[in-house]
Amino acid sequence: MSFTGWEDAAAQKSKVEEAAVYVAERLPKADTAVVLGSGLGALAKMLENPVDIPFAKIPHFPSATVSGHSGTLHAGYLHGQPLIIMGGRVHYYEGHSLAQVVFPVRLLAALGVKKLVLTNAAGGVNAAFGSGSLMLIRDHINLMGNNPLIGPNLDEWGPRFPDMCSAYHEGLTQVALQEAAHLNITLHQGVYAAFSGPSFETPAEIRMARLLGADAVGMSTVPEVIVARHMGLQVLAISCISNEAAGISGAELNHLEVLEAGKKASIQFIDLLKAIITRINGVEMP
């Protein structure tokens, strides 16, 4: 279902509000939310007094079909502070419209979330970033051929032309760098390029991405960032470099490799996420 035209945009807002009422009756209100990429589901198991809602039970919520994504909205407390965790995401390549892809972010904003932490698995374009390493996203390049804000704008959600100069919140990125240093975790910094997928990129496309300044490539995150900024959320995003991108190593790419690399990196990735969330949750960031 595509949300195009003013009536459909208004209908989308109505659907988000209906979903928010359903979720708010079941979960504690939280300042911070995390979207988990492949292999990071263990973080949700660390919540105290957990409440789980399968995506399928939330009104109008799109279904996740990708292996490694639990398809569950988790909430509870981490070190005494309420936290919402999105156990996976939906992707453009699954056949969803971008309006559906960003529906969860719209929902989180409607629930009162102010800070959004995004994670993903990405292919490494920068040869210095080995498989299993972590990259703090400083900026992005949208190569998906679409934008979730195309169509009539709802002023209640945000401005017609949202600024993207500071899409990734500087205060949150500094917290991430500080906590990584404290934990002795190498946290690279770079630019993430988003392709639509589901086919992995060709070697020529990776050469193009490198020339454009990309350090990593993936098939998610950018639409979520755009909409989060549109609605005034502060965003932090970290990629797990799951594999070297096409043409870098000469090896064939497959999704099992992505999942395996995510498992290997998950322990230090989760340690870093816990430290970051503890610092920022419930704290006003300038």
Catalytic residues: 38, 69, 91, 93-94, 121, 219-220, 243, 255
**Cα Rg of the chain (Å, integer):** 18
Q: Which amino acid is at 122?
A: A
What is d(CA 94, CA 99) in angstroms, rounded to the nearest whole number?
A: 13
Assigned token pair, 157: 């959600």
What is d(CA 123, CA 246) in angstroms, rounded to the nearest whole number?
A: 8
Q: Which amino acid is at 85?
A: I
Assigned token pair, 98: 């971008």
Answer whether 218's CB lies under 8 Å from 195's CB. yes
Residue 138, classed as helix, strand or coil, is: strand
What is d(CA 87, CA 37) in angstroms, rounded to the nearest whole number?
A: 8
